[in-house]
Amino acid sequence: MINAGDGKHQHPTQAMLDLYTIRKSFGHLDGLKVAIVGDLAHSRVCGSLAPALRTMGADVTLVAPPTFQVDDPDWFGCPQTSSLDEVIEDMDVVYMLRVQLERMEGAAIPSRREYNRLYGLDMNRVESHEGRLRSSATRGPMNRGMEINADVGRLLPAQRILDQVNAGVLTRMAEMYLLLGGENNGVSA
């Protein structure tokens, strides 16, 4: 059985393609320091990616405004903070989550401008880390002007986005192949 996700809790196939993309970029996952930044409370990606990264040996830190934090960070087994600037210097990978405006259910959020100032990836954050974030920030769907500023979005390698889309196709094809029996109909000789 392949779990394709459930609302705002899990998205395992996305976690698989993200693991593949990060591993392809760095050659390994073990020991990488990864910040998952943004709408943790409403993100089904966070629910799958944080445990998957930890299983593969990465050190994960969750970063979000208090109203977007997970209720039980101990379940994820990783620290949670409300300050991106306190942790960003130590990170190898910054994974920016999209604010799930459609799943808010009345949650209090800062204004878009305030969210961007405190949690968005802007040129000041990229420049202050000597260009390291140019190769390590992960960009996916986003709300314009909230998670990643336009100038930073243009700066991030377009190839990374194409790699991530391609990884989605490849990993999901592999999952379907295995689900349908794979080589030797799933029976080892």
| pLDDT tens column, 160-179 | 667 778 888 888 888 888 88
Q: 128 burial class (0-12, 13-18, 19+ CB within 10 angstroms)? A: middle
pLDDT at 84: 93
Is residue 183 one of the residues assigned to a domain?
A: no
**For residue 20, is it within any domain?**
yes
Strand runs labelled E in the chain: 33-37, 59-63, 80-81, 93-96, 137-138
Residue 89 within a domain = yes
pLDDT band at 131 (very low <50, low <70, confident <90, very high): very low
* Average pLDDT of the residues of the chain: 80
Q: Could you tell me the two tokens for 164?
A: 């991530």
> pTM for the full model?
0.82
- Does any domain span residue 31? yes
Cβ atoms of residues 54 and 47 within 8 Å:
no
Pick from 11, 1, 4: nearest CA to 98: 11
pLDDT of 47-59, one tens digit each? 999 999 999 999 9
How many domains is the chain partitioned into structurally? 1
Between vectors from CA 137 to CA 133 and to CA 141, what angle results, nearest 5°? 150
Task: Residue 168: give the domain boundaries.
Answer: 12-176
CATH of the domain at 104: 3.40.50.1370
Q: Could you tell me if residue 115 is inside a domain?
A: yes
Per-residue pLDDT tens digits for 76-92: 899 999 999 999 988 98
* Short-list 49, 148, 51, CA closest to 98: 148
Residue 66 in any domain: the answer is yes
